[in-house]
């Protein structure tokens, strides 16, 4: 974890527990629920040359993502690395970490980017998937 998100998470947790703060806006709910926020990309030439490494990376990410939804290890990590107490650590919520790619969700991101002008032309993400 980088320091900035950890600090943000810690401050939010402290505000919830000490002040009774509550969420009024969650960027990952409503219309943006399950919207993929990041990913990994590589040029086709690299993917072709390093297929075994990419498959190993993918397998490690799937294991890590499966672990990331378990509350006990997350609380332990918050307590250890962010130095939170157990009560504060139990208040922290994290985003979803799916273990499979939903092409429709990824295409939705590209479509939104095109609609709002972040892309100059529509993008077919199915052509970008490593199989």
Query: Which residue shows structure tokens 């504060």?
Result: 88
For 127, which DSSP code?
A: G
CA pair distance 90, 85, nearest whole angstrom = 9
Task: Tell me the two tokens of residue 108.
Answer: 């939705």
Query: Does the model's pTM come out above 0.75?
Result: no
What are the pLDDT digits (tens) for 83-110? 888 888 887 777 667 777 888 988 998 9
pLDDT of residue 119: 94
3-class secondary-structure state, position 40: coil
**How many alpha carbons fall within 13 Å on the CB side of residue 124?**
2
> Which tens digits make up the pLDDT trace of 38-90?
788 889 899 999 999 999 998 998 888 887 778 888 889 889 998 888 888 88
Q: DSSP class of residue 53?
A: H
d(CA 106, CA 32): 12
- C-alpha 131/C-alpha 129 separation (Å) is 6
| Domain edges within the chain | 3-100, 102-131
């Amino acid at each position: 974890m980088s320091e900035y998100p950890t600090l943000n998470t810690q401050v939010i947790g402290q505000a919830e527990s000490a002040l009774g703060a509550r969420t009024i806006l969650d960027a990952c709910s409503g219309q943006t629920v399950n919207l993929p926020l990041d990913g990994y990309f590589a040029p086709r030439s690299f993917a072709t040359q390093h297929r075994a490494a990419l498959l190993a990376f993918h397998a490690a990410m799937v294991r890590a993502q499966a672990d990331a939804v378990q509350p006990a290890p997350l609380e332990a990590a918050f307590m250890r690395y962010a130095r939170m107490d157990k009560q504060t650590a139990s208040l922290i919520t994290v985003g979803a970490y799916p273990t499979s790619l939903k092409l429709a969700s990824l295409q939705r991101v590209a479509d939104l980017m095109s609609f709002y002008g972040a892309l100059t032309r529509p993008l077919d993400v199915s052509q970008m998937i490593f199989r």
